[in-house]
Structure 1
Amino acid sequence: MSDLRTLFNAASDLAGLSFADLAARHKMTVPADLRRHKGWVGQLLETALGASAGSQALQDFPELGVELKTIPLDANGKPLETTFVCTTPLIDIAGVNWEASNVRNKLQCVLWIPIDGRREIPLAERSVGTAFLWQPSLEEEAQLRHDWQEHMDKIAMGEVESITAHQGEVLQLRPKAANSRVLTDAIGPNGQMIQTLPRGFYLKTSFTGAIIRKTFNL
C-alpha cells in the first residue's frame, strides 16, 4: 500500500463481505472451522490487503508503520478472545526498554478489523466488519507500559514460570506454542538457563472491549 489512506479505504471496502466471498476473490479455501486453522482469518485479510511482513517481528505494513489486527466479536460487539501482540524475549533482555520494545512497535498504530466471531454461524458465512485505525492514548500507553515492565522484570528475575494469564491489567503473558514439546531457553530462578514454553504478549479482552465500545459508541 502506498499510503495510509489507500490502506484504510481498501480495508473499509471489505466491510460486509463474507469470508467465502473474500476467499473466492483470492483463491483461498475456507476451512470447515478454526480449530486447526487458528490464524486463517488473519491470513485471509493480510492477503486481501497485501500485508508484507509475514511472521517477522515487523509491523504488517512496515512502510506505513501499521499493524493489522483482526478481532472476533459476539452479537453484542464484545471481543471473544484475547489479541496476540508478539512473542516475548526470554533471554538477552538486559537493557531492553519499553520505547524500543516490540509490543510498543506493534501497537503504535493498529488497523483493527472486527470480524463476526459467532461460532453458531458457519465460518464461510461469517463476515468482515468496519475497519478502524487506532493509536494508544497516553493513558492506554501508560497501562501497556506498566504491565510490560512488570512482566519483563519477572522474566529478568528468573520468574517466568510463575507468571499467570491473570497478571497484568491490560497485557497478559502466556505460553504460545503449537504443542508442549516446543521449548525455548529462558532465565531460571538462580540465573541458570532453563527450558520453557515460548511466551507471547496478549491484549486482554477488557482492554480491546473498551476500544470497541469507544470507537462505535456502544
Structure 2
Amino acid sequence: MIRNYDDTSIDSIVQYSSSFIDKSFSDVLSEKELDIISNEINQYKNNRKGHFGDLVEKYLFGIENNSDSAPDFSKVGVELKTTPLKKHPKKVYVAKERLVFSMINYMNIINEEWESSSFLKKNKLLLLMFYLYEKDIDLSTYEFKLIHLLDLLSETSKEDIAQIQQDWKTIVNKIKAGEAHLLSEGDTAYLGAATKASTSKSRRPQPNSDKPAKPRAFSLKQSYLNSLIQKYLGKEDRETFSLFDDKSLPKTIEENIHSRFAPYIGCTNTDIEKELEIFYEKRPKSHRRLLVNRILGTNSNKIEELEKADITLRVIALEPSGVLKESISFPKFDYLTIVDELWEESAFYEQLTTKRFLFVVFRKQKDGNAILEKIKFWNFPMKDIHEAQLVWEETVKRIKAHKADALPGIKDSPSVHVRPHARDSKDTIPTGYGTYEVKKSFWLNAKYIQKQLED
C-alpha cells in the first residue's frame, strides 16, 4: 500500500491515521501483504502479545519493529500505540485492557528524574489507535474505531499529571529500595508497573538487592484509560464528583483525601454530623458511608478519581475492643472458568495485584456512636501473594476433584479463604461435573485485614 504521510509533520501523521477509522487491514492492504500477514497470524495463532501493534507499525506506517528508546515517529517525538476496545451496552466502547509502554530498565531508572525521564522522552506524545477487539475473529479484520493524539503533559489535567508523576516516583523509589520484586500495580493510581514477560518464570536483576524481579513495563491502568476513552467519545458521566473541584487542595489523590479527613480524625460520628449539618430522625444503615461522602464533599458514591484509579472505598467498623469481624470479598468466580486458568493469568491474581483500597476506619463505642479512627490506602502486598496462590490452587484442585462444596475455609490460611457469595442457598451455578453449587468468592480474612490496618 502507499503510505501517504509526512513523518516530519504531526498533522500529516494524525490525518493519515484517521483515514483508517472503520477500516481493517483487509480494507487497505494489497493481496500480497494480506497473504504475508495471514501466514504470520497462522504461525502465532493470536497468542503473541503485541502482534497486532507490530503489524500496524510495519504495514500501515512502514516502521520496522524495534526496541529503540526513541519514539516511533522520531522526527516529531510521537509514539504510536495500538490498544483494543470492547463493546459496552451503555458507553459504546470501553478499554479491554491496560495500555502498556516499554520495559522498565531497573538498573538505569534509579538515576533518572521525572522531567528528563526515558518514559517521558518516549511517551510524552502518544498517537492512540483504538481498535475493536472481537473474540475468535482474524486479526486482519479488526477495525479501528478511534484515533487520538494525546499530549500527556498538556491535554490531561494538572491533577492527573501530578498523580502520574507521583506514581512514577513511587515505582522508582521502590526499585531504589531494592524492592522491584515486590512491585504491584496496586501500588499506584494511574500509572502502573505491569508484568511483561514471555513466561511467568522470567526474571531480571535489580539494583540494591540480590533478589531477581519480574520484568515490568509502565502502563496506564485500564480504569484510567477508560476514562480517556469516555472523554474522547463524549460519554463522560456528568454526575460523577471530582475531588479536585476545590483547586486549593493538594494535587494527588492521597494528599487530597488525607487533607479532607484530617480535621475529623478522632471525632465521633455525631460530632462530625453536627459540624457538617447532617440531621437524621433515624440513622440509615449506610450512615457511615453517607458521612464519609460528605467529608469528601459529595452526596454521591461516584467519585471520579477513585473510579479512574480503580480504588474501592470501604468503610470499616471495628468493635469497641478494636476487633474486626467482617471479612472482605472479591467478585464471585465461575466453577467452569477457574479450572482452566493459570495462576498468574487468573482473575483472582489480577484482582489482588491491581486492586487498591481506601479503608475508612471507625471504632464503635459502647454508647452507640463511633469514632473516626483513621484512613488508610492499601493494596495486597506481594510478599503475601504466595499464600494466596496456595489457597487458589487448592480451590482449583478441589473443584476438579468434584468437591466444590468443600473449598478452603478461614482456618486454612492466615490471609485468604473461600465462602458463599450468593443471595441465598438457591443462588447456584453449574460446577462442571453435573451438579450445581452456591456461588462463591475469595475473601480476605478479617484478622488479616485488621493486622494490615495496625501495621
TM-score tier by shorter-chain length is: 0.7 to 0.9
Q: Which one of the candidate residues 124, 128, 151 is aligned to 1:112? A: 128
Deviations 1:53-88 (A, max 9, x none): 722111111111101111210113101011111211
Structure 1: which 5+ runs fail to align? none
Corresponding residue of 2:147: 131
Check conservation: 1:34, 1:40, Cα contact below 8 A: no
Alignment of 1:19-98 (within 5 A): 19-24=25-30, 27=33, 28-30=36-38, 31=41, 35-47=46-58, 48-51=60-63, 54-76=66-88, 77-98=93-114
Give 1:182's aligned residue: 202
Distance 1:146 1:162 in 2: 18
**In the TM superposition, what is the alpha-carbon distance from 1:23 to its structure 2 partner?**
4.9
Per-residue deviation at 1:160? 1.3
Superposed displacement of residue 107, structure 1: 2.6
The one-letter amino acid of 1:101's match is S
Give, in whole Å, the separation in 2 of the partners of 1:93 and 1:43: 26
Query: 1:17 and 2:33 equivalent?
Result: no
Give the gaps of 5 or more residues in structure 2.
Answer: 1-6, 236-455
Task: Select 1:167's aligned residue among 187, 194, 200.
Answer: 187
- Classify 1:179/1:56 alpha carbon distance in 2 versus 1 (closer, same or farther; 3 Å): same
CA distance in 1, matches of 2:47, 2:136: 17
How do 1:182-201 and structure 2 match up within 5 A?
182-187=202-207, 191-201=208-218
Q: 1:26 to 1:181 in 2, by over 3 A?
A: farther
Relative to structure 1, is the Cα distance of residues 216 and 208 closer, same or farther in structure 2, using a 3 angstrom cutoff? same
How far apart, in 1, do the equivalents of 2:169 and 2:75 lie? 28
- Displacement of 1:15 in angstroms is 1.3
Q: TM-score, normalised by structure 1?
A: 0.88
Matched residues in 1 for 2:96 and 2:26: separation? 21
Q: How far apart, in 2, do the equivalents of 1:181 and 1:215 lie?
A: 38
Cα distance in 1 for residues equivalent to 2:122 and 2:229: 18
Shift of 1:25: 6.3
Q: Give, in whole Å, the separation in 2 of the partners of 1:122 and 1:163.
A: 35
1:44 partner amino acid: L
Q: Deviations over 1:117-158 (max 9, x none)?
A: 122544333212231111122333212111010011011001
SS at 1:63 equivalent: coil
Paired with 1:170 and 1:108, the residues of 2 have a C-alpha distance of: 15
* Structure possessing the higher relative contact order (Cα contacts under 8 Å, 6 or more residues apart): 1
**Corresponding residue SS for 1:193:** coil
1:22, distance to aligned residue in structure 2 (A): 4.0
Shift of 1:192: 3.5
Instruction: Give the whole-Å Cα distance in 1 for the aligned partners of 2:196 and 2:162.
Output: 25
Q: Deviations over 1:179-198 (max 9, x none)?
A: 245332113xxx34332322
C-alpha separation between the residues in 2 aligned to 1:160 and 1:150? Answer: 11
- Is contact 1:23–1:44 with CA below 8 Å preserved after alignment? no
Asked whether the 8 Å contact 2:181–2:214 carries over to 1, the reply is no
Could you say what secondary structure the match of 2:68 adopts? coil
What SS does the aligned partner of 1:196 have?
coil
Matched, 1:205 2:222: yes
Which entry has the higher C-alpha Rg, 1 or 2? 2
SS of aligned partner of 2:20: coil
CA–CA distance in structure 2, aligned partners of residues 86 and 123 of structure 1: 22
Mean Cα displacement is larger for which, 19-28 or 55-64? 19-28
Residues 194 and 181 of structure 1: is their aligned pair in 2 closer, same or farther, counting only changes over 3 Å?
same
- In structure 1, how many angstroms separate the alpha carbons of the residues matched to 2:193 and 2:31? 36
Counterpart residue identity of residue 218, structure 2: F
TM-score scaled to structure 2, two decimals? Answer: 0.44
* More deviation, 48-57/3-12: 48-57
Percent identity reads: 24
Paired amino acid for 1:125 = T
Separation in structure 1 between the aligned mates of residue 179 and residue 209 of structure 2, nearest angstrom: 12
